Amino acid sequence: MEKTDIIIVGSGIAALQLAHRLQDQFYVMIITKDEIESGNSYLAQGGIAAPIGLKDSVHAHMKDTLEAGCYHQLEDRVKELIEDGKRIVESLVNEGAPFDRKEDGSLSLGMEGAHSEHRILHSGGDQTGKFLMNHLLKSLSKEKVQFVEREMVYELVKNDKGHCCGVKTKDKDDAIRFYYAPHIVLATGGIGGLYPSTSNHPSVTGDGMALAFLAGAKLSDMEFIQFHPTLLWSEGKTCGLISEAVRGEGAILLNDEGKRIMEGIDPLMELAPRHIVAECIYKERRKGRNVYLDINSIEDFQGKFPSISALCSKHHISIEAGRIPVSPGCHFMMGGIVTDRVGRTNIPGLYAIGEVACSGIHGANRLASNSLLEGLVYGERLGEYLIESGVRSTVLIHSPFDRIVEGEPLSIPFHADELKEGMMKHVGIIRKEEGLSAHLKWLKEQPLTFQEHIDFNSREEIHLYFMWIVSLLVTESALFRTESRGGHIRADFPKEDNAGWLKRKMVLQKNEGRLRVDDHEQNETKIYA
């Protein structure tokens, strides 16, 4: 059992930014179930969006963000994100962060879908996440920041006053370990691993959302999932991300008949919002046609996109041939744990930042390259809040692990592939009531219940249990929203319904072992078995 000032679960850009901000005042422990390099932040090919160009403005970036999110956001939060993000990015530039530059020494600002200006900063061409992660890792003190790798947090522990003050983990050998602190931060990322086709690291399956839900936290916007239009397609499966920056450099989408598929779909063509491009590619593929990114117009493709070139080479796709086969896959979760402007949840002592959080900034669909910006902004913002408020250890009257409660043993009767295939088939890019209801019925037929205290023999069983919980929350939310908006596309309700659904949210919470759904706009509460 170990004690520190602040525990961060997850090791992506939001986590490292928070640790960087806190390390001068506090001892920080970062717990990750894999290795630091295994998260989505390291995989991020795209850049960071910030309005630092001469012709750009906070207003223009905010307008693009709101339009991409179908105006489902909290506008004041979006404004704060971009204002703070601009300041932080300018500070990184001044610190010498390794952003790509033109021959004249000026910053190379790229264009991506749904942006009205060139405002995307990149590092190493298409290795921005890796470069930024390494930049932050080098800044961390070995004396003040401790990394605990290959341990899976499987329970949040609260004291007798309901304050979150610890975690239980299983290490790689399934041994149980205990850690406690006055502040617990979830920075565990999204849910891409719930789908067979994803740009995410396979370990990213919504652990933080399941942990928070079981502890009594509120979640929202779980129906809004962004499918990236262009994952590499090879040998019958997706094999990695082909960054939107490729389209920003001029690549076009063709089917195997040579037709440009985005013509007549959206005025922005290949640079339309991601859900529009993903839906178009999905429909082409359902017709039995292959879809390709034609990169013939891009000069020095391998120099501009070294990691994508290496990915194609690994899967025997010729860059010289000029066409990269692509297919959509799960990319980003807009919803998650409900937080305020600094990352606080409804549970004292529990915070959430980054993709695991629903902070009101992404709405129904995230604007390209706003995710790394979110991690940097909320990591810094929560750090400042914790520094100002101080670490109040008095909430820990005694070790919470003196009275650990073990749950009833559970066994998992399904395989991960079953759940993933059901998610892709019924809760994927295009949804309808029949399929959503079928998947929900399958989920509810599993002999599992919502248990705050769980007792599984292995990490793999916990992993499947968490996948079941998050899948159920996503499916319930998708069934509940009877309109199409952003990343949530209902074939049976194909239009946006601004009169009934524009700002309307369902808040999900555990209630005495059952699912409680609060529809605040309609002032209704439903309790599900």
Catalytic residue ranges = 274
With b meaning 16 or more CB within 10 Å and e meaning fewer, what string describes 458-489? ebebbbbbbbbbbbbbbbbbbbbbebbbbbbb
Q: Please give the distance of CA 201 from its chain centroid, rounded to a whole number.
A: 11
Are 179 and 167 in contact by the 8 Å Cβ rule? The answer is yes
Instruction: Give the whole-angstrom CA distance, residue 187 versus residue 273.
Output: 26
The two three-digit tokens of residue 314, written as one number = 């690994």
Q: Apex CA 196: angle with CA 192 and CA 202, to 5°?
A: 50
Q: Please give the distance of CA 179 from its chain centroid, rounded to a whole number.
A: 25
Q: Please give the distance of CA 189 from its chain centroid, rounded to a whole number.
A: 5
Among 352, 406, 397, 3, smallest CA distance to 176 is for 406
Q: List Cα–Cα distances, 499 to 503, 504, 505, in angstroms.
A: 9, 10, 13
Please classify residue 327 by burial: count the beta carbons closer than 10 Å to its beta carbon, then call 0-12 exposed, 13-18 middle and 19+ buried. buried
Are 2 and 117 in contact by the 8 Å Cβ rule? The answer is no
DSSP annotation of 402: G
Amino acid at 178: F
The backbone region for 216, taken as left when phi is positive above 0, alpha when psi lies in -120 to 50, beta otherwise, is: left
Q: Please give the distance of CA 165 from its chain centroid, rounded to a whole number.
A: 25
DSSP annotation of 367: P
The two three-digit tokens of residue 158, written as one number = 């609260």
Q: What is the CA radius of gyration of the chain?
A: 22
Instruction: Give the whole-angstrom CA distance, residue 442 versus residue 429.
Output: 19
